[in-house]
Amino acid sequence: MVKLFVGNLGPKVGADELRALFEQYGPVSECDVIRNYGFVHMDDEQCASKAFEALNNYYMHGRALHVEFSTSKLRKAPGMDELCFRCGAADHK
């Protein structure tokens, strides 16, 4: 799983619209929007790379999107060691 940061979102951009934009490049497992930025989780690294190449500096509602690969890890619950907080799997971060 690959997590992409998307910055410079307009005030009217919601998770559904952002998800639809990124789904043109591959499956999106999760999409969250927080004010003027969001995170898109894509299942496939090649699809995420294609989305990055196509959508970084892409204009949406008059604003150039800033897309980058996120360096933050998925949240973990206390005591879960290297297991994913959301699904409990050990094969992704």
Domain ranges, residue 49: 2-69
pLDDT of residue 86 exceeding 90, the answer is no
Q: End-to-end distance of the chain based on CA atoms, in angstroms? A: 8
pLDDT-derived band at 80, boundaries 50, 70, 90: very low
Q: Which pair of tokens denotes residue 84?
A: 């994913």
The whole-angstrom separation of Cα 11 and Cα 70 is 21
CATH code: domain of residue 45: 3.30.70.330
- Whether the pLDDT of residue 76 is over 70: the answer is no
Confidence band (pLDDT; 50, 70, 90) for 71?
A: confident
The answer to whether residue 82 is domain-embedded is no
Specify the residue for token string 């929007």. 33
Residue 34 neighbours by CB under 8 Å, 6+ apart: none
In a domain, 32, yes or no: yes
pLDDT single digits (tens) 3-18: 999 999 999 999 999 9
Q: Is 38 contained in some domain?
A: yes
For the chain, what is the domain count?
1
Within a domain: 79: no
Q: Does residue 75 lie in a domain region?
A: no
Domain membership of residue 12 (yes or no) is yes
